[in-house]
Structure 1
């Protein structure tokens, strides 16, 4: 009889413990998410407080629903500033994405994917595992990149004023060298353009000079030929005038003149 009572008591305790939370992580995580909901504006307001925490959009819990493991809130239109240290209360959180929102303020030390926001200031020293994905693309961040993030891809820091590996050095040595090369190249290109223009102008002037000179020679020759032809035309009427005034003598004079001009023979009959 006593054994049956002990067995029933054990079963009752086991059934009762099934309805009790295994730990307080999910309770703490729920309180943290509600604090985020009240601090920010946007689609996070769609989290229904009457629904289980693990059913909220963007919230991924562990298989036993005991804690929040991932928080995916990209492009949710979130506005405002995140209170410092708020996400540190999510003790089991291993993935956080807040990219492409309108968040501002100083970047918290436990944010991973925050590209496309308005965070400003410097990146704090982060103690992140090597496999964690980190992205602060298109934020108003400045200063040097922490050494433990030097192995992250360069694309994760574009659109910021950060310096150091994997970007250019903070002392500006690499950037100044690059700018010097650009200035040298641009100066050489300008010099080449100027020299080319001068040479082209000289060639054009030489071509115009030779064309004008050739045209002047042709005009001089044409003038000489015209003068000779006018002289012949003027002399011929004078010789014909002798013919009209001298009868036969004039006729003979004309014939002789014609012979002299033509350089041939003239036969007179009758």
Structure 2
């Protein structure tokens, strides 16, 4: 009798465990976060490795604690060049802030390609150089992008047209950027000087509701066509969390 009860109990436990959520994703994300701390000299990251990953400062997880959704590391003394593939396992990430650090060098072209859910990317006030990385233009869900006050150079690529969800953009403070902004942003529905007015007087960048370029989005570049851009009121969406704006000057 007792053996039969034990057998039934074992079967019940086995069936129950089939429906438990797997923690494989969070284990992978945890390893990635520790790699980031090691690679970017993040000694000031006060992470207790004996504590759950989702309790670490700057880390926000999904409700079921199965994956990292947001990663906030502003002003944490991170420095150096970001190694290739460093963020590749954070596939559920929708918010990444590395602003106000000393990250430098060229951003590799494939750095963000696996972050398909990313909606907010804040890289302002670092020491990045070289062209704006191609991997950014694969982030078709991106709503907010801040690359201000770095050392990016080259042309403003027409690939910005791929970012059809983009609502706010900051590129100012990159003195070596140049380009033809009207060509670069036709597909985004952004508006405001030097693009078309946001009052609906022109339809050259698409019909329907337009979004304003925020905070002089592409000021201080060398192209005469870019020029100095007057401040615009940012179009906010109340459903967006953790907005980091003000043109990189917050």
TM-score, with normalisation over the residues of structure 1? Answer: 0.55
Q: Give yes or no for contact 1:29–1:90 (8 Å, CA) kept in 2.
A: yes
Q: Which residue of 2 aligns with 1:145?
A: 156
What are structure 2's unaligned runs of at least 5 residues?
116-120, 186-217, 228-250
Q: Which residue of 2 aligns with 1:27?
A: 27
Greater fraction strand: 2
What aligned pairs does 1:87-98 form with structure 2 within 5 A after superposition?
Answer: 87-98=87-98
Q: 2:160 matched to 1:157?
A: no
Shift in CA distance, 120/8, structure 1 to aligned 2, threshold 3 Å: same
Q: 2:124 matched to 1:115?
A: yes
* More RCO (CA 8 Å, sep 6+): 2
Report which of the two structures shows the higher radius of gyration computed on alpha carbons. Answer: 1
TM-score, with normalisation over the residues of structure 2? Answer: 0.59
In the alignment, the residues of structure 1 paired with residue 80 and residue 50 of structure 2 have an alpha-carbon distance, to the nearest angstrom, of: 24
Q: 2:143 matched to 1:132?
A: yes
In the alignment, the residues of structure 2 paired with residue 31 and residue 80 of structure 1 have an alpha-carbon distance, to the nearest angstrom, of: 20
Match of 2:170, SS state, is helix
Q: Give yes or no for contact 2:122–2:146 (8 Å, CA) kept in 1.
A: yes
What aligned pairs does 1:109-258 form with structure 2 within 5 A after superposition?
Answer: 109-110=111-112, 112-125=121-134, 126-149=137-160, 156-160=170-174, 161-164=176-179, 165=181, 167=218, 172=223, 174=225
What aligned pairs does 1:58-97 form with structure 2 within 5 A after superposition?
Answer: 58-97=58-97
Q: Give yes or no for contact 2:102–2:127 (8 Å, CA) kept in 1.
A: yes
Q: Superposition RMSD on alpha carbons, in Å?
A: 3.1
In the alignment, the residues of structure 1 paired with residue 222 and residue 75 of structure 2 have an alpha-carbon distance, to the nearest angstrom, of: 35
Shift in CA distance, 48/12, structure 1 to aligned 2, threshold 3 Å: same
Match of 1:25, SS state, is helix
What are structure 1's unaligned runs of at least 5 residues?
179-270
The offset of 1:49, in angstroms, is: 1.4
The offset of 1:145, in angstroms, is: 2.3
